[in-house]
């Protein structure tokens, strides 16, 4: 079974459209998203509409849960006060502009999607099996991977949240961070589409980088009234 996974889209409709075309060309049988559908870019309503229209199922991210329920805080982590101020502005903007229909969709997203294929148990969730805002980076100690794996009976775990893609094989489990479609943070501004091909004897993972009109996406951030800061970041892939 071959699937395409869209991590953290964050309101970037230009990136999502390009990612979807790439997924179609890859012959993926099914496309999933990993949540965090709004914030940083302005098209949260359009992103949700696109996902509905194309039957792209997915899970709830921290940003979805907090926007849908009008929480005080998005549950994100910041490295400095400037980032915190910018992120707060983006969160307030998104809560204000997400339509009731969008919020209802975000509220109803499941925490995980689980299925079995080729005798392998697969689970998709936003950040970790038990907490939707913990950052599961590749350099976490083995102990962390072991603890997270113990929270689910899956053989293959697929998640996002950090916006930095990786695959790690460890103690008979496969951990796949699918990166981000709409706001990569690994220095490559191209959208990341993660293709996962699961067969009886192997699991192939490809992080396809898809070019899209980043300049257009950046100028739409600026005209929307969101901080210019985020327009600069998506151009840099940061």
- The DSSP call for residue 135 is -
Each residue 24-43 as x (binds Fe ion by CB under 5 A) or -, in order, gives ------------x-------
Each residue 115-154 as x (binds Fe ion by CB under 5 A) or -, in order, gives ----------------------------------------
| 11 in Cβ contact with 40 (< 8 Å) | yes
Sheet holding 156-159, edge to edge: 112-117, 120-125, 156-159, 173-177, 166-170
Q: Is 8 in the site for Fe ion (CB under 5 A)?
A: yes
User: Is the Cβ of residue 198 or residue 230 nearer to Fe ion in the bound state?
Assistant: 230
Q: Is 64 in the site for Fe ion (CB under 5 A)?
A: no
Sheet holding 30-33, edge to edge: 57-58, 30-33, 2-6, 191-198, 203-210
Question: CA 68, CA 196: separation in Å to the nearest integer?
Answer: 30
* Rounded least distance, CB 140 to Fe ion, Å: 17
Q: Count CA atoms closer than 13 A to 191's CA, side-chain side.
A: 30
* Rounded least distance, CB 188 to Fe ion, Å: 16
* Rounded least distance, CB 233 to Fe ion, Å: 13
Q: How many binding residues for Fe ion (CB under 5 A)?
A: 2
Question: CA 106, CA 40: separation in Å to the nearest integer?
Answer: 16
Q: Which of residues 184-223 bind Fe ion (CB under 5 A)?
A: none
* Rounded least distance, CB 25 to Fe ion, Å: 25
3-11, 170-178, 210-218, 227-235 -> range binding Fe ion (CB under 5 A)? 3-11
User: Is the Cβ of residue 73 or residue 146 nearer to Fe ion in the bound state?
Assistant: 73
Question: CA 142, CA 74: separation in Å to the nearest integer?
Answer: 28
| 198 in Cβ contact with 9 (< 8 Å) | no
Q: Is 65 in the site for Fe ion (CB under 5 A)?
A: no
* Rounded least distance, CB 10 to Fe ion, Å: 6
Interacting residues toward Fe ion by CB under 5 A: 8, 36
């Amino acid at each position: 079974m071959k699937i395409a996974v869209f991590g953290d889209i964050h309101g970037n409709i230009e990136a999502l459209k390009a990612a979807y075309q790439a997924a179609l060309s890859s012959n993926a049988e099914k496309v999933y998203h990993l949540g965090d559908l709004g914030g940083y870019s302005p098209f949260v309503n359009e992103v949700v509409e696109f996902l509905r229209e194309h039957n792209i199922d997915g899970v709830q991210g921290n940003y979805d849960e907090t926007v849908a329920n009008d929480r005080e805080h998005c549950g994100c982590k910041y490295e400095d006060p400037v980032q915190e101020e910018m992120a707060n502005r983006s969160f307030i903007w998104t809560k204000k502009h997400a339509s009731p229909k969008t919020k209802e969709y975000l509220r109803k997203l499941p925490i995980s999607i689980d299925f079995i294929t080729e005798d392998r148990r697969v689970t998709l969730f936003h950040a970790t099996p038990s907490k939707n805002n913990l950052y599961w980076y590749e350099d976490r100690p083995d102990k962390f991977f072991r603890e997270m794996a113990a929270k689910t009976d899956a053989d293959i775990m697929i998640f996002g949240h950090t916006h930095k893609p990786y695959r790690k094989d460890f103690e008979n489990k496969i951990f796949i961070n699918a990166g981000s479609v709409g706001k990569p943070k690994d220095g490559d501004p191209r959208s990341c589409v993660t293709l996962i091909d699961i067969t009886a004897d192997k699991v192939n993972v490809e992080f396809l980088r898809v070019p899209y009109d980043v300049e257009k996406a950046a100028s739409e951030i600026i005209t929307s009234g969101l901080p210019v800061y985020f327009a600069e970041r998506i151009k840099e892939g940061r």
